[in-house]
Structure 1
Amino acid sequence: MALVFEALGNVILPVVIVAGLGAFLAAKFPIDQLTVSRITLYLLSPALILDVILKTPVKAAEALQLGAAYLLTLLLCLLLGYLIGGRGPEDRRRSLSAGVGIWNSGNMGLPIALFTFGQAGFERATVLFLASFIGMYIFGPAVYTVGRGGGDPLSVLRGMFRLPAIWVAAGAILLRALHVQPPEGITRGVALMAQATLPMVLLALGLQLGSGGWPRLGTRIWLATAARLIGGPLIALACGKLLHLSALNLQVLVLSASMPTAVNALLIAREYHADTQTVAAVATLSTLASVLTIAAVVTLLPFIR
């Protein structure tokens, strides 16, 4: 347990520092947050996807099984978040859906998985990270476009697939399938951009908080946070059991689904002119509260078979 709290401290403290600096900067100077978001969405995030897919060894059968479990968990979490919105404004309901359904399986999920399971669990957590990163850029836009755009299916599809991360992922998977390795100069350039993704994402959260102040934590925000940190792992447990995951795969899935809201959900909300205040509030509160809830999940993991 001490190792878990140490890991959480090592992960969350850098998040607080970088986001805090972003908040301080936004409070002092006017900053174009939409430009920051678009640099991340259209350039840095695709580079991270390309870098991870080209460098990470993935076993096809296991990746498909874990990917299916992740997808089912994601869809149910999105639905849960939408239902939490009740009869409130449609924009808030959609942002609550994104806040519950899109979680931080990368910069938080990966190191916690490594501390908890060792290398075998880390490799499986990497597969889930790939699935979640691709799924986030498909279903994140879908949350804000499905049911809108005049009911035109083409408009919905354009809204879902206009972010380049999906196309880059498809291209990277094709390169892996064909055993094609890009020139070293290109991969180094991609790696440099990939390394800039996380700091920019955290700065974006800080900029949102610094310009808008500490988010208002109403009942819906608390419910969405509970749904993300408690409902998420419970849904993952049910989905993993339904798909007959092995014990280790099931435990890794449950741990991944216990992570707080991904800040990327905020970037997607801003790109689609949605309710960014709600997403920022859920992301902030869930990140802070996750120190306790993740420790509790880790304690219970040995009993999951």
Structure 2
Amino acid sequence: MLQALSNVLLPVMLVAGLGAVVSARFPIDQATIARVTLYLLSPALVLNVLLTTPVQAREVVSLGAAYALTVAGSLLLGWLTGLRAPQDQRRSLAASVGIWNSGNMGLPIALFAFGQAGFAHATLLFLMSFVGMYVIAPVVYTARVRRPDQSHPTPAGMLLNVVRLPAVWMVALGITLRALHLHLPQGVMRGVELLAQATLPMVLLSLGLQLGSGGWPRLDARVWLATAARLIGGPLLGLVAGLACGQRGEVLAVLVLSASMPTAVNALLIAREYGGDAETVARTAFLSTLLSVPTIALVVTLLPRLTP
């Protein structure tokens, strides 16, 4: 299993590392790269996942409730790590703990640990987390925030902050197409798949660019606390939430495994777009990814106790 984890983690660190090297040597417009990913590539990935992932209503409701409780607990933990910190850093710490990497790390590790059956549940969780991220993060960054050139935010304004992200539109489109049993033309679908495949490399490069532009990240006490909350508190919250929602056996184990993943790099892109503390998110994503090998290995070792 350690070899499998290294095979998953090494490519992640390699791509991010190359981004850091390039950013340290050349001036890079990071905001433009982040917006290309946020407004073009990520929506394509959302639509592709929605149209190609088999889901059942009963699983969506049960697992969705457990996921929502886990996210709520994780956001609270992240918020507590930022007590007495500036508002933008506190919000970014909450997002760093509440948004985890259930995709490029969670999916292959679930496949290694549970085979195809577990992979199907992990894919469903990935879909929930990816959609949820584009709803939760804008609220975390903008709720009750008043900037000098803006009036006090209203519920309608907060809703606009969420729906202005194309990923949310793709959720509505994907659900509508599936409900009506409609299919995109083959040429269009292939274009969507190409864009979706480009998403992961770009988000990893964005992490590297952020880290490389500022040198080796400064890992202060709050970043360490947020990393501990993500890697240790996450799986514990997943276990409690899963049991509370009636999950047992392999489904519960997949939920716990997903919740043990490090901070998602996409959290960095959203922090940039909504004026959050991108540096704090980048440092937490870096440290939690680096330390996730031993913590995930421990979780995987303990998971058989949940699948009698």
SS in structure 1 opposite 2:182?
coil
After the TM superposition, which of the residue ranges 286-295 and 215-224 deviates more from structure 2? 215-224
Which residue pairs with 1:303 in the alignment? 305
Spell out, residue by residue over 1:122-166, the C-alpha distance to the aligned partner (whole angstroms, 9 max, x if none): 000000000000000000111101112413222211112211101
In structure 1, the gaps of 5 or more residues are none
Which residue pairs with 1:32 in the alignment? 29
Which residue pairs with 1:204 in the alignment? 206
Q: Displacement of 1:216 after TM fit?
A: 0.9
Partner letter of residue 185 of structure 1?
G
Within 5 A, what are the aligned runs for 1:38-187? 38-149=35-146, 150-187=152-189
Deviating 4+ runs (over 6 angstroms): none
CA contact (8 A) 1:91 1:274 kept: yes
Partner letter of residue 76 of structure 1?
G
Partners of 1:214 and 1:268 in 2: CA distance: 22
Which residue pairs with 2:270 in the alignment? 268
CA contact (8 A) 1:202 1:263 kept: yes
Partner letter of residue 204 of structure 1?
S
1:288 corresponds to which of 272, 290, 296: 290
Within 5 A, what are the aligned runs for 1:177-256? 177-256=179-258
Partners of 2:124 and 2:61 in 1: CA distance: 9
Q: Displacement of 1:304 after TM fit?
A: 2.3
2:17 corresponds to which of 13, 17, 20: 20
Q: Displacement of 1:7 after TM fit?
A: 1.7
After the TM superposition, which of the residue ranges 172-181 and 289-298 deviates more from structure 2? 172-181
Aligned residues: 302
Q: Displacement of 1:246 after TM fit?
A: 2.6
Question: What TM-score do you get using the length of structure 1 for normalisation?
Answer: 0.97
CA contact (8 A) 2:20 2:212 kept: yes
Partners of 1:5 and 1:179 in 2: CA distance: 42
CA contact (8 A) 1:148 1:156 kept: no
CA contact (8 A) 1:138 1:160 kept: yes
SS in structure 1 opposite 2:183?
coil
Spell out, residue by residue over 1:235-255, the C-alpha distance to the aligned partner (whole angstroms, 9 max, x if none): 011100110013111100000
Partners of 1:213 and 1:161 in 2: CA distance: 35
Spell out, residue by residue over 1:206-251, the C-alpha distance to the aligned partner (whole angstroms, 9 max, x if none): 1001111121111111110000000000001110011001311110
In structure 2, the gaps of 5 or more residues are 147-151
Give identity over the alignment, percent.
65
Partners of 1:215 and 1:51 in 2: CA distance: 34
Partners of 1:276 and 1:182 in 2: CA distance: 36
Partners of 1:193 and 1:101 in 2: CA distance: 26
Task: Give me the CA root mean square deviation.
Answer: 0.9
Partners of 1:214 and 1:167 in 2: CA distance: 37
CA contact (8 A) 2:162 2:168 kept: no
Question: What TM-score do you get using the length of structure 2 for normalisation?
Answer: 0.96
After the TM superposition, which of the residue ranges 169-178 and 123-132 deviates more from structure 2? 169-178
